[in-house]
Each structure stands twice: as structure tokens, then as C-alpha cells.
Amino acid sequence: MEVTEVVAIDHGLKKDEFSKICELLKRTPNLTELAIFSAMWNEHCSYKSSRKHLKKMHTKGKQVIQGPGENAGVIDIGDDDAIVFKIESHNHPSFIEPYQGAATGVGGIMRDVFTMGARPIANLNSIHFGSPQHKKTRNLLRGVVKGIGGYGNCIGVPTIAGQTTFDESYNGNILVNAMTLGLVNKNKIFYSKAAGLDKPVIYVGSKTGRDGIHGASMASATFDDKIEEKKPTVQVGDPFTEKLLLEACLELMADNSIIAIQDMGAAGLTSSSVEMASKGNLGIELNLSEVPCREEKMTPYEIMLSESQERMLIVLEKGKEEHAKKIFDKWNLDFAVIGKTTNSKKIELIFDNKKVAEIPIDLLAENAPIYDRPWKKTKLPQKLKFDKDEFKSLKLSDCLKKILSNSNISDKKWIWDQYDHTVMGDTIQKPGGDAGVVRVHGTDKAIAASVDSSALYCFSHPLTGGKQIVCESYRNLISVGAKPIAITNCLNFGNPEKEKNMGEFVECVEGITEASKYLDFPVVSGNVSFYNETKDRGIKPTPTIGGVGLISDYRQMLTMDFKTEGNLVYVIGKTDGHLDQSIFARELLNEKKGPPPTINLFNEKNIGETVLDLSKKKSYCELP
Amino acid sequence: MRSSVIIFPGSNCDRDMDVALKKFGFKNQMVWHNDQSIPKSDLIVLPGGFSYGDYLRCGSIASKSKIIKSVINFANSGGLVLGICNGFQILTETGLLKGILQQNKFLNFICSNVFVKVKDKQNKYFKDLKKDILELHIAHNEGNYFCSNDELKSLEDNNQIAVTYCGEDGTENETTNPNGAIKNIAGIFNNNKNVLGMMPHPERMIDKYLSGEDGSLFFKNILDNFK
């Protein structure tokens, strides 16, 4: 096929992006090369609309070992132990095919964590659906919950906390954000930076099939009526193979054979090979005829774009091939030497003994476009004037019943009962509380984690909303007696080419940054999902915060249940009667305007630290 | 007491079982599914998980694996064989235990605490157990036990029903049955009562900070009966 502007646009590239590619290459790319550019330059992989703003985030701290830019963030929890964690979206695929979309979301994030040498110890998820009355909601919810359970339960990693909300702005775009935490020895962390010339490049895991081709491009576009046609772009998960891959990788990581390792996630072999070479400032040569394929006659184009799951790319020390192969043979996984590192600083692809693509790495990585998109500030809405005399006609018990039965408030046990939350034998706080808690196996330490988002607040006033979710995460961790350490975020927004949506993004990030700086609660990893929009209707801005905290002695963990009769109950912090954006105002008074409650970061920190201090002094009732 | 936990590809409660056994004083070792033989043991455990992905049918591929011949020989010579969750499914697939485990009645995976009633104490697992009702934990999608009327009759006649789902007070009915199992059956023995398969996971209930600690009683009791 001849590559023209039309073909480039079909691949999701913009007109000027295509001319820039031709200019940089000093020629027209062939189809395989075009595919590689489209995969690397799309929003999902390049962060081209968000990068400018993400740079401002607060990412450093005493306990941060690795901030954003790797497969996942890493924090130090003492005694050579470190926690690797990240949250990631799988929104677009989950709307098209809820079971597989959600399942592979869980699979993908777990790979990001064990790629770094960590054994996954906990999963969390934040899922958002359209109105409970909408005809698609029931089916999507069921599919997503089954998918998350189907994958996580099979691997044997407990799902310890989560969040489920309903809002009509998700009618055409549901959100599925999955988070994983892993435990690693801080001296044995693996990174994706390739190093050394002529080192063998190894492919391990499942075979490559035709599933998921163009997945990353699909996730970088809005939806229209032809959404059913996109089904083949959704990957199919195989948790059993992932479990084998997890065990095999950890076994190989026990010695010093691996130089660099990267999971083949979005944009598969393309992004993994380019990222490893780019970080190592090297070139990479791949012989695509050596790639284990599931289907016959796969072309270089298909092999490079496939998003088949459960695959890893490894740069190995020379001479360790036989040793590594033995391990993967034991676990019945494919193993193939498919290339080597070079000093050409190019990605060079060979197929059937012919060179089929050659692109300088920097054109794909550093030279990817960065946009400074125009954006609009959201004004703080006027505070509503409630006529408090009117409340007198309301019966308190009726209001309480309505609030408690609201789908966003009601008990979600029926969801988390479908997730194995006790496997691995260290879950000491199950879902349903403020945060899930797992012990660090064999030690006195425990890790608390929660996921929080507040689309209503972020929609009403993004700057306040951004601060609010960081504070909520902070509070949730403190509520279980954990010292908050760091966060990961999943930034779900509408179309960044629209000023309003872009503005929501910019201001939410600003709010997140301000709060995380003040609370010394740095962002160590994350992911951006734009284009959550169907037929011109976008979602409410929904940044999700995944917070992680440490309990130094798990016996001091706090739980939310009342312990015995006669205990005193206190409210700590000032209640100033803010009603705007509350469930009460929105659902009972039908008042959907008004600002979110103001955030006072000084109070937030002061109260948080005080409560944490008190918890150590055992002013509370202990576990029975 | 020496124990061996078999690891199949896809097992995921093998480590938990190892931790529990060692905590109570078993000398435990892990055995890989592709091994020819099992080291000298007093108890063999088939742990929970998704052996071979549970593709085809839960436990069916594992029941044809290399190691399983040694497990069957060990069981037939009177050795103690314990199958938890996926291990129970594997035991029914090998024929060491009667019946099958179908998908749960409400078609969902269930992870929850349950109460089970100990139905028979004339065996090496539950003899002299201090409690009649244990609080244990289930986590499965296919735990709905079923067998033919003849098989059920013979299970009942020989006291081969080991544990049944019940309420905290021992009530056995539809509401205390989490998965639709026939007669609320949560676990059964073979004829000689040396082979026990059950869906609940005692290894997840071994200290007070976890979901409960009745699992401890179970393990301690096996040890006490061995002495």
C-alpha cells in the first residue's frame, strides 16, 4: 500500500504530524514505519497534550526511589523493602468489550509492577458507569466486575479496595482504572533502560496474534456510532499465562541475567523496543521472523502493532540465554532471541532477510510532538442560598434512607465479594473500609492503599476538586492508622482539543500538585486517559488518586467499626454546614450547582498528623 | 509430621498453605507437578488456585498430570491427602472423591467468610476437635457440590460428609448455603476417610488479624491426631 496523507489520517495521525514525519525522515515512510510512528505519536503513548502540565507535578520525596517515567513508581518502606505501584486506565476497551477490557486492564497493570522485579501483593480498582437506569449500565457493570475478578482471582493477588460510582456523564464512556502494588527488595529493582552493545533481545510469554492491533490509537480517539467495528482492537486476556509469566520472570530475576525488561503493553513490541532503546540511548535491531506468532502469515506491520497480552521484552547479559530459556521452558512459555542492541541509535526491523523499517529512535521518542493546547479556566460557582426553613418539612429518616440508598453511597459488598480479597494470607483490612490493608509478608509492617475520585467536585471547580481528591486519599490512609507516603494518579478526561476539557485537566493537575506538595504526598506514577467522549459528549473530569501509606506495626491498624457500647464518638475538624454539591443537595433538593467545599491544606495536614499521633498513643479501641 | 504441597502451574494458594503448615509445626516441602515422585510424607496437600488455568474443566488437566499417580498411590495406601478448593476439584476429577463441583448457583465468584458444621469426628482430621462449628473462608466460582442420589446415599451411610455450610448457630438451609451445594456439602471424605476435599480455606484463617482463626484449630488437630 502506498503511504499517503489519507493513509496517515486513517492511522490517527494529523495532517501536519504526517508532514513532520516526512520532513524528519527526509522521505515518505513505508506502511510499517507509518504504523510505528502512529503508535508512538498517539496521545496514549506520547502524552503529547499532557506532558507540559505533568512536568509541574510534585514527584520528589525522601521515600521516593523512582518517580514517573518508569513502568511504575517505587517507594522506600524501610529495611530494604520497597513498594512498586501504579494505576492505569483501560476505559476505551472496557466500553467496547467489558469483560476482556477490564481483565486485560488488570493484567497490564500487574505486568507493569512485576516487570520491575516486584511480586504483586494487592490490587485495587476505580470503576465508573453511566446512570443505573441507562440500558447499557447493567451489562457493562456485570462484565467489568467479572473481568476484574476473572483475571485477579486467577493470578492469586487479593483485590483489597476499590470505588464504584454512577453518573450519566459516563453513559457513553465508562471508566475502568486498575491499580497494583508490589513488594520488592530495594536493591533488586529492574528498570527498562537498555545498556551495552550487542546484547541479546529476548521475547518471552505468549505468542503474538492479531488481537489488539491499533489498541493504543483506539484509546486516543473519541467514540461514534461505529463503535462495534472497534471490537477487534480489544485484547484478549489469559490470566493463566500471566501467572506463569510472573513466576518465570521472578525466577529469572533472582540472579543477574537481566539488563533491562519491559512489558509489551500499549502498542506492543513497538513501544517496548523503542522505549528500552531510547532510555539507553542505543539502537535496536529486531528480526521479526523470529517472533513467536499465534497465527499464520503475520506481516511486520501486524507483529509490530499487535497488543497480544502476557508478553515481555528482555535485554539479557550475553551468554545467559540458555539459563534463561531453561526457566521459561519449565513454565511452558515461549522464549526467542529476536534481536540485539546496536550503536546505530535506530530501530531496524528485519523480516524474511530483508530490512523492512529503519527509523532513528529520537524521532519516535524525544521528537514526538508536544502540544500546548489552549485551555479555559473554570470559574468558582456562586454559593447556593438554601432556605433552611424549607428543610423543616423534610423528615430526617426519609432523607437518610434516600441518601443511604443512593447508588453512589450504597453498600458495594456484592461487587467486592466477587473479588478474591484474602488470597496470599496477609489481608488485614478487607474492602468496604476507608482503605485496604495488607501485611508486608513476614514483617510487622503493613501497607494501606485506597483509590479516590470526586467527579462532581472536579466538574464544579477543577482546582478545588484536584486538591480535594488528594486530601481524601490522605484522610483515608490516616483513618486506618497509616502514614501517607505517595500517590499514583489516573487522569481521566474528555477531549483535550476542547478548551473546556483541557482547562479541566490543567486545573485538576494544578490542584493535585498543590495539595500533594503541601502534604508531602508526591506523585510517583500515573497515566492520562483523554478522549473519553462519545458523540461530542465528554465525561465529567475524573482524576483518580491511588494513595499508599505505611503502618509500621500492623497491630496498630485502625478499623471503622464501633467497638463496644459506651465508646465516645468525636468529630475532628470543623463542620461548617457546606451543602453545595452534597448528595443531600443534589438528590433531595435537586440543586446541582454550587461550589465544592473549600480545602484548607493547613487544617488537613494538622488534623491528619494529630490523628496519626493519637492512633499511636492507643487512645482508640484496639481490634477486639 | 511431614507434609508435601504440590504446585501445579496456576496454583496460587501453595505459598499460603506452606506458611500455615509451617506455622503449626509441619515439616513441609513443595513438590513440582512435573516431578516423578513425592518425598516421604505423612500428609499431601493439593492447594487452591487455578491449576492449568482451570481451562477445559476445573481440576481436570491437573488430574492427569505426572505427579498425580504418586498422589493416588499414596492415597490408596492409606496416606492422608487434603485437597482445598481447586485441590478438592482435582480430587473429584481423579475419582479419589465422589461427585463433581459445578459453577456456583448464582453464577458469581464468592469470596466470603462462612460457617461450617463438622459432621464426622471419627477420622484423623476432626477427631477430638474442640468446636463443632468452624468459621472458615471461601473463595471460588465452582464450589457447588453435586452427586447422584446413589452416591449421596452412600456418602451419608458411611459418614463421608465431612463439613456442611451452616449459620453461626448451626442452621443448615438454603440461606446458609452460599453456592447451591447439594445438602449444603462443603467437604467430603473418601471411603477410608484418609482423603479429604473441601472448598473452604483453613490456611486463610490462622491468626486474629486475618478473617478469623478457626483454621488454626484445623491444622493443630491434624497434628494432635498424628502424635
| Segment A220-273, tens digit of pLDDT | 667 776 666 666 677 788 999 999 999 999 999 998 899 999 999 888 899 999
Q: What are the start-end ranges of the H helices in A215-258?
A: 215-218, 239-253
Mean pLDDT of A138-158: 96
Which pLDDT score is estimated for A232?
66
Given an 8 Å threshold on Cβ–Cβ distance, is B111 in contact with A422? yes
Q: Where would I find the H helices in A56-162? A: 91-96, 98-114, 137-155
Cβ–Cβ of A240/B108 closer than 8 Å?
A: no
Indicate yes or no: CB of B9 within 8 angstroms of CB of A243: yes
Q: What is the pLDDT of residue A577?
A: 86
Torsion A465-A471-A475-A476 (CA) sign: positive
> Taking the CB of residue A310, how many other CB atoms lie within 10 A of it?
27
State the pLDDT at residue A217. 65
Active site residue B203: yes
Query: Of B13, B85, B147, B166, which is the active-site residue?
Result: B85
**pLDDT for the residue A12:** 87
pLDDT tens readout for residues B56-99: 999 999 999 999 999 999 999 999 999 999 999 999 999 999 99
Q: Which residue has the cell 504504523?
A: A35
User: CA nearest A556 in B: which residue?
Assistant: B209
Answer yes or no: are the C-beta atoms of A190 and A111 closer than 8 Å.
no
Say yes or no to pLDDT of A278 above 70.
yes
C-alpha closest to that of A11 among A211, A218, A209, A224: A218
- pLDDT one-digit tens code per residue, A26-56: 999 999 999 999 999 988 888 899 999 999 9
Q: What residues in B contact A623, CB-CB < 8 Å?
A: 208-209
Band (pLDDT 50/70/90 cuts) for residue A623 is: very low
Q: Please answer yes or no on whether B53 and A153 come within 8 Å at the CB atom.
A: no
User: Which tens digits make up the pLDDT trace of B47-60?
Assistant: 999 999 999 999 99
B50 and A332 in contact by Cβ < 8 A? no
Closest residue in A to B34 (Cα) is A330
Mean pLDDT of all residues belonging to chain B: 95
Contact between A423 and B204 using a beta-carbon 8 Å cutoff: yes
Tens digits of residue pLDDT in A328-381: 999 999 999 999 999 999 999 999 999 999 999 999 988 888 999 999 999 999
Find which of A422, A426, A443, A554 to mutate to test the B interface (most B CBs within 10 Å of its CB). Answer: A422
User: Once rounded to an integer, what is the mean pLDDT over residues A489-496?
Assistant: 95
**Nearest Cα residue in chain B from A240:** B53
Which pLDDT does position A256 carry in this prediction? 84
A445: closest CA of chain B, how far (Å)? 13
Q: Does B12 sit within 8 Å of A155, measured CB to CB?
A: yes
A126 has which bridge partners?
A163, A177
Does A19 have pLDDT greater than 80?
yes
Confidence of residue A624 (pLDDT cuts 50, 70, 90): very low
Q: Chain B: residue nearest A429 by CA?
A: B210
The partner residue sitting opposite B9, judged by closest CB among A238, A244, A555, is: A244
Instruction: Check pLDDT > 80 for residue A559.
Output: yes
Q: What's the confidence (pLDDT) of residue A2? A: 83
Interface of B with A (CB under 8 A): 9-10, 12-13, 15-16, 19-20, 48-50, 52-55, 108-112, 137, 139, 141, 201, 203-204, 206, 208-211
Q: Residue A533, SS3?
A: strand
Cross-strand pairs, A525 = A488
Q: For residue B141, list chain A residues with Cβ-Cβ distance below 8 A.
A: 153
- Write the ipTM: 0.95
Q: Which residues of B touch A150 (CB under 8 A)?
A: 109
pLDDT for A622: 45
Q: For residue B209, give the nearest of A238, A418, A554 by CB distance.
A: A554
The partner residue sitting opposite A424, judged by closest CB among B16, B109, B209, is B16
CA-CA distance, A530 to A505, in Å (whole number)?
Answer: 9
**Pairwise CB contact (< 8 Å): B10 & A243:** yes
Going by the DSSP 8-state scheme, the letter that residue A223 receives in this structure is: B
Give the span between the Cα atoms of A582 and A580, in whole angstroms: 5
Chain A residue numbers touching B139 (CB-CB < 8 A)? 153, 420, 422-423
Show the cell assigned to A569.
464518638
Mutation target among B5, B7, B12, B203 for the A interface, most CBs of A within 10 A: B12
For the record, the C-alpha cell of A495 comes out as 477531549
Rg value, chain B, Cα? 16
pLDDT at A619: 57
Q: Which residues from chain B sit within 8 angstroms of residue A426, using beta carbons? A: 210
Q: How far is B208 from chain A (nearest CA, A)?
A: 9
Quote the pLDDT of residue A44.
Answer: 82
Give B1→chain A minimum CA distance, Å.
22
Q: Which of B111, B112, B205 to mutate to test the interface with A (most CBs of A within 10 A)?
A: B111
Residue A621 has pLDDT above 70, yes or no: no
- Catalytically annotated residues of A: 44, 90
Residue type, A593: K
> Rounded to whole angstroms, how far apart are CA atoms A142 and A149?
11
Predicted pLDDT of residue A488: 97
Element (H, E) at B117: strand B110-118
Q: Closest Cα partner for A421 from A78, A107, A30, A152? A: A152
Which residue in the set B19, B139, B208 is minimally distant from A423, CB to CB?
A: B139
Catalytic residue among B93, B140, B147, B203: B203
d(CA A236, CA A480): 37
Among A201, A149, A365, CA closest to A267: A365
Say whether B13 is catalytic: no
Using an 8 Å CB-CB cutoff, list chain A residues near B208: 623
Contact (CB, 8 A) for A152 and A420: yes
CA distance A255 to A136: 49
Q: How high is the mean pLDDT of chain A?
A: 92
Q: Which of B209, B210, B213, B214 to probe by mutation at the A interface, max A CB count within 10 Å? A: B209
Cβ of B111 within 8 Å of Cβ of A417? The answer is yes
Q: Summarize pLDDT for B13-31 with one digit per residue, the tens.
A: 999 999 999 999 999 999 9
Query: If one looks up domain B2-226 in CATH, what number appears?
Result: 3.40.50.880
> How many CB atoms lie under 10 A from the CB of residue B157?
8
Q: CA neighbours within 13 Å on the CB side: how many for B92?
A: 25
CB contact under 8 A, B12 and A243: yes
Range name among A59-63, A181-185, A566-570 with the lowest pLDDT average: A566-570
Q: What is the pLDDT of residue A536?
A: 84
Query: Are A423 and B13 inside 8 Å of each other by CB?
Result: yes
Instruction: Name the residue in chain A with its Cα closest to that of B9.
Output: A244
Nearest to B13 among A156, A417, A419 (CB): A156
Per-residue pLDDT, averaged over B166-171, amounts to 95
Q: Which residues pair with A342 in a beta bridge?
A: A283
Size of the A and B interface in Cβ pairs below 8 Å? 86
From the list B9, B53, B210, the residue facing A425 with the nearest CB is B210
What residues of A are in contact with residue B85 (Cβ under 8 Å)? Answer: none
- The whole-number pLDDT of residue A573 equals 86
CB contact under 8 A, A149 and B109: yes
Q: What is the nearest CA distance from B85 to chain A, expressed in angstroms?
A: 12
Burial zone of A613 (CB within 10 Å; 0-12 exposed, 13-18 middle, 19+ buried): exposed
